[in-house]
Amino acid sequence: MTATPQSKLSSPFSIKNVHLKVANLENMSRFYQEEIGLELIKKEAKQAHFAARDSQDVILILEEIAGRAESEPKSGLYHMAFLLPTRKDLANQFLSFHQNEIPLVGASDHSYSEALYLKDPEGNEIEIYVDKDISEWNILEDGTITGVTEHIDLEGVLSEADGKWLGMAPGTTMGHVHLYVSDLEATEDFFYNLLGIGLKYNFGAKAKFFAVGNYHHHIGANLWKGIGMPPLADDEYGMAYYTLQVSSETDYQAVKNRLSKADYPFTEADNTLTLVDPNGIVTKLTF
């Protein structure tokens, strides 16, 4: 299928939050506060909720479970991606990692963004990125937004730094999630035909990128871990779910109607739909 840039949803659209199941809440909370720079805004016995600095919008939830590590390759989270407001914020974040000897697993220029990659203490991969000006994106006539993976211009990024890192910058959001999936075609059908999120880019035969509006991607999906994998078990560490936020009740009802018409199972509570995608990944949608 070629790109379908005209999604069935309207902007703004966002990833509201990601919920991770973890083994050690204290250790993970310390990492996300001290090294990533999120603010702890709510703490319970087995849960912690985090937001960017000076915000009350929860973008990450950690929940401690009595669980076990993934026993075999499973579908689930490839990485979650925090979107910073400015290149200066990315530069200051990099300097903080360097000064605190936090190892990176990658640093890339994707043509539409510049990104740093690292892992938390339990192996969940994190992307921290900034979008380039849309005038620099490679947007084709059909609306496809192509990406690359090249070395980041670190010298250029660091030229923006002022050394004043005070935590994850105000205005930071969960820019996208990238998923390991077991069936790419079924995933496309789910996101486009049911949820209404447009296909923006086919990255070879094993990855697809989906977005609402003119964004490069809100959701990535790939087969790089394998095909036909089972989902994480409830007692395995990793992503419990992620939450999509549509712009209006109209869009919310349209998604609900498409699901009902297709006899696709879901539950609803507190203006939130909960459903399981074809890969066994729990997905929530709200407005």
Q: Please, which residues have CB within 8 angstroms of residue 37's CB and are 6 or more apart in sequence?
A: 53, 93, 96, 165, 166, 167, 168
The pTM of the whole model exceeds 0.85? yes
pLDDT digits (tens, 9 = 90+) for 183-210: 999 999 999 999 999 999 999 899 999 9
Q: Which residue has the higher pLDDT, 3 or 32?
A: 32
Q: What integer is the mean pLDDT of 20-38? A: 99
The whole-number pLDDT of residue 226 equals 96
Q: What integer is the mean pLDDT of 142-168? A: 96
Mean confidence (pLDDT) of the chain? 97
Distance CA 243, CA 145 (A): 24
- The closest of 201, 278, 284, 200 to 242, measured between CA atoms, is 284
- The enclosing H or E element of 28 equals helix 25-31
- In this predicted structure, the answer to whether residue 1 has a pLDDT above a threshold of 90 is no
- Domains in the chain: ranges and CATH: 14-286 (3.10.180.10)
Pair of tokens at residue 38: 């999120």
What are the backbone angles phi and psi of residue 222, rounded to the nearest 5°? -140, 160
- In this predicted structure, the answer to whether residue 90 has a pLDDT above a threshold of 80 is yes
- The enclosing H or E element of 40 equals strand 39-43
Pair of tokens at residue 249: 């009740």
- In this predicted structure, the answer to whether residue 5 has a pLDDT above a threshold of 80 is no
Q: Tell me how crowded residue 227 is: count the other CB atoms within 10 A of its CB.
A: 10
pLDDT digits (tens, 9 = 90+) for 221-242: 999 999 999 999 999 999 999 9
- For residues 158 and 95, is the Cβ–Cβ distance under 8 A? yes
Distance CA 199, CA 212 (A): 9
Dihedral class, residue 238 (left if φ above 0, else alpha if ψ from -120 to 50, else beta): left
pLDDT digits (tens, 9 = 90+) for 264-278: 999 999 999 999 999
Distance CA 46, CA 63 (A): 6
Q: Tell me how crowded residue 205 is: count the other CB atoms within 10 A of its CB.
A: 8
Q: Please, which residues have CB within 8 angstroms of residue 224's CB and are 6 or more apart in sequence?
A: 78, 180, 206, 207
